[in-house]
């Protein structure tokens, strides 16, 4: 046994890095291990939600993310030879400093987070894999394997599994991962593409399915995501070739877009699953280890980072001994409903986007009349509180609803309510500390910040 650490964080993806940043901000230096020798260089998640930018601002990394990303992306919707132009997600989020979806490749997000974590005094130990763990009442004994084959046994007061969809921590803690896989298969490619308008995302809708081009910048100009037609006989594990991706793309674009210089191409199947629990004694889960779903609405990485920020300060208080015994339990209480909401939302959006039901296929390629291009036509509800309407050109109803649902699943709260909570705040608002007024009643109660306010439901959030 090499010693006892306070926290062992397994996995240095976006979730593990955000968790390390939050722990460090609260005076806890975790041991952070990752079995990979290098961080991921493929794009994977490519959009950061406003709430994620807000929660990362306390670490001072948001300005760097914004500087490197693209916040002015619009969406060109190509449907039946027409093009509708939509402002992406600019749907009335007036209570945030970041009222947009920031496009930035996950590789860049991880790079910026990792640099911040390093300057906070936490080292990412690469080439170290958690093989197994055993829990007792007062610690978790972990077996680690180093890249050179050396094995190490380490004790930890807490272990947090940020080790992704196939989490070894979740498996060792015997936490079920409930859900299933979607039958559809996708191809994902980071490529160059000729004849596409730049500075905008493109979606091509057809009765057969859906194709996206997202502006990436790095490592390639475009991220392509295309659904294979339902009758496509290609086995899901067949090698992806540029010719094949071009043929799939032609099926949606009519041959108007030429692809070249691929950086990364992969087959892609989607699943929707959630951990039965986020905590089993001294073992906790966050990010993809706790929930996986379709990328509809760009939520996976965002939800993981917000899990981490929620858990980090609670873990620090639990370790410092200043928190009531129930504080750590509020992590699951707050974040599991968010995880379930994201799963429900992404499942609904995915079903609409990919359904073979003739009615849905028909509706998919015929935007709602309210969405037809008409700059003066009021067609989008901007606030579910005020029911305000404002002229926004060409907003298909489905997209507007999806965007609202996206904002809601990311744990944001209406401006008026946040202002009221801020007035009621009893705790400090210094950088690195949460505002007590934004904490749910369960957290306020467990952390000794004030009892449950009668008549108010718990408001989950990071």
Q: In the complex, which residues of this chain contact ligand FAD (CB under 6 A)?
A: 10-16, 33-36, 44-46, 106, 129-130, 162-164, 168, 188, 266, 268, 287-288, 295, 298-302, 304
Which segments of 162-299 are extended strands (E)? Answer: 177-193, 200-206, 209-215, 222-227, 259-275, 279-280, 283-285, 291-292
CB of 390 to ligand FAD, least distance (A): 28
Q: How far apart are CA 1 and CA 5, in angstroms?
A: 11
Residue of 408, 376, 407, 405 lying closest to 393 (CA atoms): 376
Q: Which is nearer to ligand FAD, 129 or 152 (CB)?
A: 129
Nearest Cα residue to 309 out of 124, 160, 151: 160
Q: Nearer Cβ to ligand FAD, position 133 or 436? A: 133
CB closer to ligand FAD, 296 vs 438 = 296
**How does DSSP classify residue 221?**
S
CB of 145 to ligand FAD, least distance (A): 9
Cβ at position 16, least distance to ligand FAD in Å: 6
User: Closest distance between ligand FAD and the C-beta of residue 333, in Å?
Assistant: 20
Name the residue nearer to ligand FAD (CB basis): 226 or 394: 226
15/409 with CB nearer ligand FAD: 15
At closest approach, how far in Å is the CB of 184 from ligand FAD? 14
- The minimum distance between CB 441 and ligand FAD, in angstroms, equals 28
* CB closer to ligand FAD out of 19 and 91: 19
**Angle at the Cα of 393 (from 389 to 399), degrees rounded to 5?**
80
With CA atoms as reference, report the closest residue to 410 among 346, 348, 361. Answer: 346
Choose between 130 and 257: whose C-beta lies nearer to ligand FAD: 130
Chain Cα centroid distance, residue 153:
32
Q: How many H-runs (helices) and E-runs (strands) does the chain carry? A: 12, 20
Q: Using the Cα atoms of residue 393, residue 96, residue 296 and residue 60 in order, give the sign of their dihedral.
A: positive
Classify residue 316 as left (phi > 0), alpha (psi -120 to 50) or beta: alpha
Strands 378-381 and 259-275: unpaired
Q: Evaluate whether 218 touches 108 at the Cβ level (below 8 Å).
A: yes
> Least Å distance between CB 167 and ligand FAD?
7
> Least distance from C-beta 348 to ligand FAD, angstroms?
17
Closer CB to ligand FAD, 77 or 298, in the complex: 298
CB of 78 to ligand FAD, least distance (A): 20
Q: What is the C-alpha to C-alpha distance for residues 19 and 289, in angstroms, rounded to an integer?
A: 14
As a whole number of angstroms, the longest Cα–Cα distance in the chain is 70
- When the beta carbons of 190 and 334 are compared against ligand FAD, the nearer one is 190
Up-side HSE of residue 350: CA atoms within 13 Å toward CB?
A: 23
């Amino acid at each position: 046994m090499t010693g006892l650490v306070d926290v062992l964080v397994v996995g240095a993806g976006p979730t593990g890095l955000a968790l390390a940043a939050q722990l460090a901000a609260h005076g806890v230096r975790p041991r952070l291990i990752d079995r990979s020798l290098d961080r991921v260089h493929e794009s994977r998640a490519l959009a950061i939600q406003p709430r994620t930018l807000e929660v990362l601002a306390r670490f001072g990394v948001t300005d760097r993310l914004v500087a490197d990303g693209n916040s002015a992306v619009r969406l060109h919707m190509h449907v039946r030879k027409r093009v509708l132009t939509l402002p992406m997600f600019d749907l009335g989020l007036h209570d945030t400093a970041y009222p947009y979806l920031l496009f930035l490749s996950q590789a860049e997000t991880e790079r910026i987070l990792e640099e911040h974590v390093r300057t906070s005094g936490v080292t990412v130990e690469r080439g170290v894999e958690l093989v197994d763990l055993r829990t007792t009442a007062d610690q978790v004994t972990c077996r680690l394997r180093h890249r050179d084959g050396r094995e190490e046994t380490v004790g930890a007061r807490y272990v947090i599994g940020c080790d992704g969809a196939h989490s070894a921590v979740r498996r060792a803690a015997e936490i079920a991962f409930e859900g299933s896989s979607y039958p559809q298969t996708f191809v994902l490619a980071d490529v160059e593409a000729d004849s596409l308008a730049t500075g905008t995302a493109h979606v091509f809708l057809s009765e057969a399915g859906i194709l996206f081009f997202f502006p990436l910048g790095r490592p390639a100009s475009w991220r392509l995501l295309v659904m294979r037609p339902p009758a496509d006989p290609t086995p899901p594990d067949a090698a992806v070739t540029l010719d094949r991706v071009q043929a799939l793309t032609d099926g949606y674009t009519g041959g108007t877009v030429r692809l070249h210089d691929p950086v990364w191409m992969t087959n892609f199947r989607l699943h929707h699953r959630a951990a039965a629990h986020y905590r089993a004694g001294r073992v906790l889960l966050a990010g993809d280890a706790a929930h996986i779903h379709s990328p509809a609405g760009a939520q996976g990485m965002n939800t993981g980072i917000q899990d981490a920020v929620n858990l980090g300060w609670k873990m620090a208080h639990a370790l410092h001994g200043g928190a009531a015994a129930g504080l750590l339990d509020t992590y699951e209480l707050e974040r599991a409903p968010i995880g379930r909401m994201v799963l429900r939302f992404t499942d609904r959006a995915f079903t609409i986007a990919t359904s073979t039901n003739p009615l849905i296929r028909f509706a998919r390629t015929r935007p709602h009349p309210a969405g037809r291009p008409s700059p003066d036509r009021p067609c989008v509800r901007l606030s579910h509180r005020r029911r305000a309407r404002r002229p926004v050109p060409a907003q298909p109803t489905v997209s507007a609803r999806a965007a609202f649902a996206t904002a809601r699943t990311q744990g944001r709260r209406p401006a008026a309510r946040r202002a009221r909570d801020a007035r009621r705040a009893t705790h400090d608002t210094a950088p690195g500390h949460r505002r007590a007024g934004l904490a749910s009643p369960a957290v306020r109660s467990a952390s000794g910040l004030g009892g449950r306010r009668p008549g108010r439901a718990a408001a989950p959030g990071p």
